[in-house]
Amino acid sequence: AQSVTQLDSHVSVSEGTPVLLRCNYSSSYSPSLFWYVQHPNKGLQLLLKYTSAATLVKGINGFEAEFKKSETSFHLTKPSAHMSDAAEYFCVVSDQLSGTYKYIFGTGTRLKVLA
């Protein structure tokens, strides 16, 4: 079965410093992996996705993630945090269930950006 583990429930960074949100995955086959962001009282917005093409994936708002098969990791990074990045971030793996694709979400990482 597919699963993802987000290693930090809360991360605090100062504005202008790098962001690292960690995600490990477990998969019996080549996975499709995603990062979504959820701002307070909002739905989920896709940041980026990995689908077995380039291992370094660039997303919106300056975010990127690197797929490392040897480490079963898909960590999300951003060189310089902005106040508007404060939100909940979810690492997601797409699981195939009898022909249906469903998302399996991690438990989320709440990012706090300090002025």
- Residue 98: what are its φ and ψ, rounded to 5°? 50, 45
Q: Which SS3 state, helix, strand or coil, does residue 56 take?
A: strand
One-letter amino acid for residue 56 of the chain: L
Q: How far is the CB of 113 from other proteins (least distance, A)?
A: 20
Residue 22 touching other proteins (CB under 8 A): no
Q: Does 90 bind other proteins (CB under 8 A)?
A: yes
Q: For residues 40-79, which are near other proteins according to CB under 8 A?
A: 41-46, 49, 51
DSSP string, 16-31: TS-EEE-EEEE-SSPP
How many residues bind other proteins (CB under 8 A)? The answer is: 26
- Closest approach of Cβ 73 to other proteins, in Å? 18
Both tokens assigned to 72: 């079963």
Would you count residue 83 as binding other proteins (CB under 8 A)? no
Task: Say how far apart CA 83 and CA 87 lie, in whole Å.
Answer: 10
For residue 97, what are the contacts with CB-CB under 8 A and spacing of at least 6?
none
5 contributes a contact to other proteins by CB under 8 A: no
Name the residues that contact other proteins, by CB under 8 A: 32, 34, 36, 41-46, 49, 51, 90, 94, 96-108
